[in-house]
Amino acid sequence: MIKLTALLLCIIFVTSYSQETKPQLSITIDDPNTESSGNMTWLEKDDALLETLDKQGIKAALFVCGKRIDNAEGKVLLARWNEKGHMICNHSYSHGYYHSKKITPEIFENDFLRCDSIINNYSGYTKLFRYPYLKEGDTPEKRDGFRQFLHDNGYSQGYVTIDASDWYIDSRALDTLKISPALDLTPYKEYYITHIYNRAMFYDSLAVKLTGRHIKHTLLLHHNFINSQFLGELLTHFKKNGWELINASDAFKDEVFSQQPDILPAGESIIWALAKETGKYDSLLRYPGEDSEYEEIPLNNLLKTYYK
């Protein structure tokens, strides 16, 4: 009886541990906009993204850059996401580069408030702020001053844990479609899925090194053509490889999002920043964490092979 009890307890523990440490993924989408992309109107693109999230049964966090939706159609777009129960969050009005000497803390604060005034009437309004380009200040005064400003306004940081370059793959695909509108986009899809999944595995492995567990991840994507086309297949790929899809609101409850890494320049993925703060993982970290310079050559090589 004692052995059986011990065995049952062991099974319960292993099952619990497995569930707690299973990698979990939420979707965050930056820069909703009302621009046509490729062969799609903004409404078709928006429909595709919303339908994919509906099919997967998850709610995302939409990080709004005010200037991109500051029109009648933009109000329609935000209302659509709000009605679907997604979070409506702040991504500044002008999408300024905070490390620029031209952008003072006061300018940045006013820009933040301008966006807040656009989104704060929606029921899904959530006081999370995501820095444009994930750049959080290149001096102690900029970094710490705006962190205090966020706190004073009841905001938390809408950190990214998994950063990637979907925007670059999107731009390359759109350039191709301008020349050959009927071209098969399979290699772009393959590169998109492989790239984002590989970056997710990198940031998850780094998170495990830092915390000893699989955290609740926030994946940075954009309101663009490539995601409207292939987000569903990307999420299916994650699920087939043992990841669990969760709501963004659940992900942001993870304790990792309460951290404020002491690094300069500040920014990048919160996982990247925490690793940088330790001084132990410099051999694994590149700066910036993600950019087109890392993807141009491998994407070119794939396209040459596919279209030869």
Q: What is the 3-state secondary structure (H, E, C) of the chain?
A: CHHHHHHHHHHHHHHHHHHHHCCEEEEEEECCCCCCECCECHHHHHHHHHHHHHHHCCCCEEEECHHHHCCHHHHHHHHHHHHCCCEEEECCCCCCCCCCCCCCHHHHHHHHHHHHHHHCCCCCEEEEECCHHHEEECCHHHHHHHHHHHHHCCCEECCCCECCCHHHHHHHHHHHHHHCCCCCCHHHHHHHHHHHHHHHHHHHHHHHHHHCCCCEEEEEEECCHHHHHHHHHHHHHHHHCCCEECCHHHHCCCHHHHCCCCCCCEECCHHHHHHHHHCCCCCCCCCCCCCHHHHHHHHHHHHHHHHC
Q: Do residues 250 and 26 touch, judged by C-beta distance below 8 A?
A: yes
Q: Which residues fall within 8 angstroms of residue 255, CB to CB, at 6 or more apart?
A: none
Domains in the chain: boundaries:
23-307
Confidence (pLDDT) at 257: 98
Q: Residues 6 or more apart from 88 whose CB is under 8 A from it?
A: 62, 64, 78, 81, 82, 119, 122, 124, 125, 126
Assess contact for 96 and 108: CB atoms under 8 A.
yes
> Residue 275: phi, psi to the nearest 5?
-65, -40
Task: Kindly report the pTM of this predicted structure.
Answer: 0.93
Residues of the chain short of pLDDT 50, as ranges, are 1-19
Look at residue 4 in the predicted model and tell me its pLDDT: 36
pLDDT score, position 20: 54
For strands 216-222 and 24-30, give the pairing: parallel
Can you tell me the distance from the alpha carbon of 262 to that of 96, in angstroms, rounded to the nearest whole number? 22
Q: 23-307: which CATH topology?
A: TIM Barrel (3.20.20)
Q: How many CA atoms lie within 13 A of 261 on its CB side?
A: 24
Question: Which of 50, 32, 65, 258 minimizes the C-alpha distance to 158?
Answer: 258
Q: CB of 166 within 8 A of CB of 31?
A: no
Helix axes 140-152, 105-119, angle to 10 degrees: 30
CA 229 vs. chain centroid, Å, equals 17
Q: Determine how many CB atoms are found less than 10 A away from the CB of residue 266.
A: 25
